[in-house]
Amino acid sequence: MLVATHFYDGNCPLESEESVPYLSAPTRQPSSAELEKLVLLFEEEACRFDSLVGGKGSSLALLSSDLKKVPVECKVPAGFCVTVNAWKAQLKNNEEVGAVFKHLEDVATGVVEGKLEESCAQAEKLVSSVPVDALLQDCIREALQDIFGDDAEQRRFAVRSSAVGEDGDVLSSAGQNITVLGCQGFDSIKKGLQKCWASLLSYQSVEYRRQHGEPLIPGMGVVIQEMVDAEAAGVLFTVNPNDGDPGKMILTANYGLGESVVSASADPDTFYIKRTAAGE
């Protein structure tokens, strides 16, 4: 189903200077060294490039940066990103993966006959079974040690898909790729990583991109982030998503970790919050 976006053309309650984005990606291009990185910490500037870590990862990195001009404090649980380059390195020179990916794209574009759902299932199963590259495993262990020290094995983590092109100005891709919650221990994190990579090839994810004219198999970053022990969680739209009205914010929330909200498995509580011209 396609939903038309309505642009708000009414009075804006905020001063024009306050409407300028506080968060923006670096204006420079990534360096050759940054392009080769397998892991990037939230605090690293290179982690703010969507092309290197995907939409979700780059947004978290921006929120984690030292932004002195932002009028509110952004508390982001500690973490890092497995890069798009790691995804490419994981599958590089794997002839079986290359053949399966090509067949999926040929079926999706009508070059050959076949059922897209079956092609996606084959690709998803194959990607989830490919062992995680040994060098990448070392990089993940090093990042966990650097951020959390010897306590890393006792903490719980969310392993979150972060595909290139998601969370953008036009498409959100909400719920198309998976998040694995409550991962404890390195082996659990590694399995979560494989599940996230594989979810990029799921039928719902591929078909969503096909319908919207996006690349069928874009790169994917993966966020590895400390879990929050939340009693309730949800999603806040800082402008009304239905008509773009900046004077009305919408909050949807449920008890638990918020998975029921983003997956639409339950009806959340919805709150409409009016924002005045003073930003209150």
pLDDT, tens digit, 9 for 90 and up, residues 224-235: 999 988 889 888
CA-based Rg of the chain, rounded to a whole angstrom? 20
Q: Could you give the CA distance from residue 247 to residue 238 in angstroms, rounded to a whole number? A: 9
What is the model's pLDDT at position 6?
Answer: 56
Instruction: Report residues of the chain scoring pLDDT below 70.
Output: 1-22, 66-71, 167-174, 263, 279
Rounded to two decimals, the pTM is 0.84
Q: What three-state secondary structure class fits 235? A: strand
Residues with Cβ < 8 Å from 262, sequence gap 6 or more?
A: 174, 175, 235
Specify the DSSP class assigned to residue 9. Answer: -
What is the model's pLDDT at position 9?
Answer: 65
What is the model's pLDDT at position 1?
Answer: 42
Q: 96 is written with which tokens? A: 């079986």
End-to-end CA distance of the chain: 36
Beta strands in the chain (DSSP E): 39-41, 79-82, 156-163, 179-184, 220-226, 232-237, 248-255, 269-274
pLDDT in tens, 120-158: 999 999 999 999 999 999 999 999 999 999 999 999 999
Report the C-alpha dihedral over residues 102, 108, 113, 119, rounded to 10 degrees.
60
Residues with Cβ < 8 Å from 17, sequence gap 6 or more?
A: none
What is the model's pLDDT at position 82?
Answer: 98
What is the model's pLDDT at position 54?
Answer: 93
